[in-house]
Amino acid sequence: MARGIYSTALLRLIFKSGHEISSPTPSQKERFETWTMESPDVVLSDTQDKHAIKILGKMEYVEEFVDVLKMGVPSTIFVGDVMKTKSSHDLVQLVAAFPLDAKLELDVLRSEVTYTVPWHHFCRAGSEGLSLMVSFAEQMLEEGLLQPEKVYPVFREHVSRLTPRLGSLIRIVHSKLNGRNIVIGPARVVWRKEGVVKVQRRIIGGGVYDGLNIPKSPGDYAITELRKGCMYTATKYYSLNGNLKGEYYSVCTPIEMYDTYVKYVDLGVDVVKPFGKEPSMIDQEEPREACAAGRLPEQTMKKAFEVAEGLMKMLS
């Protein structure tokens, strides 16, 4: 059973893999020829932030679906651990995160069933306004009022231009491989061009900067450059008088940029450079361990280290 913004794509994947679709909604019955009303082995539903799904069922069925998902949506990242549910010790839950590449893979699956505008799942997950825009466009296509060859290029162009406004406050949603979501900000957009922003935020509290081992001081601030589709964030820390203290580059899944926030999954490995010193690569074990556990795709892990090596060369 699947509910939520990814349901059509996931049901298409389930159907293609030779499994039965159970307990469909009326709209799902219209899109799929065969189904059963028997109790589902696995229940799929959106997480609260819409950028991932919860997989609920007995361990054997959850593992079977995970294998199907890895084959059909290879950019999926499984965050956190398998958790037993409070309601039943027989049931477990696992969270599957869909970064940008996975959303695009899901778009392809959905397009095999019904009209699917470019960036469908990116928009559905992004905000209520973008989601309504998708619904409107696809309803017009379903009713024959618009033609795909005319709508798709225009839709793709406008969504690709989505960038926070200059002077606006945005959040940076930094998802970890352990399942935690860290919200950084609010940060103010101090510079922008299409698909790229620089945001500034004040540093509050004492201690030292993680990875840099440089003391924080009153008046410090950070400037972070965020580029749509880029696989790293670039943060520079400054003192009150504007002197550079250090640089921190966090390797991540391709950055998803919306009007009020940006979203990505932190891939663990980072590159740091204290002012006047050589760069170094840190936290290399986290992506390797996640890959060995089957939670992070090997191709994604390899790409993360390629990006980190490129940053090392750039900063040397």
**Which sequence spans correspond to the domains of the chain?**
7-114, 169-315
Nearest-angstrom CA–CA distance, 40 and 7: 14
What's the CATH architecture for 169-315? Answer: Beta Barrel (2.40)
Query: Would you state the structure tokens that stand for residue 40, as one six-digit string?
Result: 């589902």
* Location of structure tokens 């900000």: 185
**Which residue, among 94, 110, 116, has the nearest Cα to 45 in the 3D structure?**
94
pTM: 0.94
Residue 33, pLDDT score? 81
Nearest-angstrom CA–CA distance, 28 and 102: 22
**Angle of helix 100-111 versus helix 7-16 axis, rounded to 10:** 70
Q: Render pLDDT for 226-255 as a digit per residue (tens, 0 to 9).
A: 999 999 999 999 999 999 999 999 999 999
**Number of continuous H segments (helices) and E segments (strands) in the chain:** 9, 13
Judge contact between 82 and 92, C-beta under 8 A: yes
Q: Render pLDDT for 77-110 as a digit per residue (tens, 0 to 9).
A: 999 888 877 666 789 999 999 999 999 999 999 9
Residue numbers of the chain with a pLDDT score lower than 50: none
Nearest-angstrom CA–CA distance, 105 and 100: 9
Can 7-114 and 169-315 be said to share one CATH topology?
Answer: no
What's the CATH architecture for 7-114? Answer: Roll (3.10)
Q: Residue length, the chain? A: 316
Amino acid at site 56: L
3-state helix, strand, coil in the chain (%, to 5): 35, 30, 35
**Which residue, among 220, 222, 226, 170, has the nearest Cα to 197 in the 3D structure?**
226
Residue 36, pLDDT score? 84
Alpha-carbon distances, residue 45 vs 96, 209, 270, 305 (angstroms): 10, 38, 32, 32
Judge contact between 244 and 234, C-beta under 8 A: no
